[in-house]
Chain A
């Protein structure tokens, strides 16, 4: 893995190499530089390859714009990278994403079982979750809710996902994230409820106060009641 900083200011030629869109007008200017790569799996390498999951951005006149996105799910599912699924030319065509499927979330959640999570620290899981959530938005949340209702996600992984739903600062998904977090306040599993309380505390939206007050009345576990009480006070103080 290399991080964002260590992948800055790559030359166009270095990055694109023999990629099929190499000669596209959208990336033909020599002044355009790729300046960011995220979660590249091979260190010291600058060419996208089958093994990469990358998000490149291009800098034109000091303005950063998304150029393309290589889908995480291709890697997660272990299949070969399919360039036809790439979102390519900014301003030329809209990103074309592979249709979202439950299998993609299944793989994500299964892989998460192998990770050890620590509060406040990003993980492979949280990064992939954010990417899917932001890329697929409505279909992501639709399938996520179905999987929750059918009890298809381990409580530990679901609780971790809920924490990160709260950490996301994407306004486009805010309401969908809040709805899930609020519903999960009444989940049968204390671990999941703990994750929901944390998610809502990270979200800092006082619109959740009515739900939190109801949850406080129904919560039977002392330490979770205390957490909800603290959160209510924090949100009341902030509003």
Chain B
């Protein structure tokens, strides 16, 4: 099943702290994870969510793009749901240190406020924010560097230090 991955922050999607939220509602703060620029939202195409090789490579690329080694929280949204909502995806190269991963980047374009809210609702309904612990992110980055997918000279020094 093809899906689209969006990096988020788990704390914005859980409801444990806010008992006034019903199961169909989400925190207003969650919209911080869907910050658009020129009505465009950045996503990553995952052809098969069971393909951990590709998923780990995307995690590595996202993790290696930071200033510090950190967890990667993300959601996967079924591609068909985008079609159902008539959302438009465009293939636009990403900006990570892994060129193949960059080819998996998609722009969700012409995004209206209504559609953005619908997307947030989708993420909330899926209720499946995943966290990749820092140690696993480190393993993914190490693997991508060892395989030559990521050039270590392009990775922030503070991240490299934590990989040792």
Contacts and interface: CB of A to CB of B under 8 A. Distances in A.
Interface of A: 116-122, 155-156, 159, 163, 167, 169, 189-191, 194-195, 198, 201-202, 204, 221, 223, 227, 230-231, 234
B68 interface: yes
Interface string B58-70: 0000010111111
Interface in B17-69: 17, 29, 32, 35, 63, 65-69
B16 interface: yes
Contacts, number: 67
B11 A194 contact: yes
Interface residues of B, number: 26
Given A198-B70, A223-B14, 6 more contacts: A116-B32, A120-B68, A121-B67, A190-B16, A195-B11, A231-B133
Select the residue from A120, A122, A191, A204 with max chain B CB neighbours within 10 A.
A120
Contacts of B70: 119-120, 163, 167, 198, 202
B133 A201 contact: yes
Nearest to B66: A120
Contacts of A155: 17
Select the residue from A118, A121, A122 with max chain B CB neighbours within 10 A.
A118
A221 B72 CA distance: 20
Contacts of A221: 16
Nearest to B73: A119
A166 B61 CA distance: 22
28 contacts: A116-B35, A117-B9, A118-B7, A118-B66, A119-B9, A119-B73, A120-B63, A120-B65, A120-B66, A120-B67, A120-B68, A120-B72, A122-B67, A122-B68, A167-B70, A189-B17, A190-B14, A190-B17, A195-B11, A198-B70, A201-B71, A201-B133, A202-B68, A202-B69, A204-B162, A223-B10, A230-B135, A234-B134
B46 to A, nearest CB: 19
A29 B7 CA distance: 50
Contacts of A223: 10, 14, 131
B134 to A, nearest CB: 5
Select the residue from B7, B17, B162 with max chain A CB neighbours within 10 A.
B17
A191 B68 CA distance: 21
A118 B133 contact: no
B38 to A, nearest CB: 17
B14 to A, nearest CB: 7
A198 B71 contact: yes
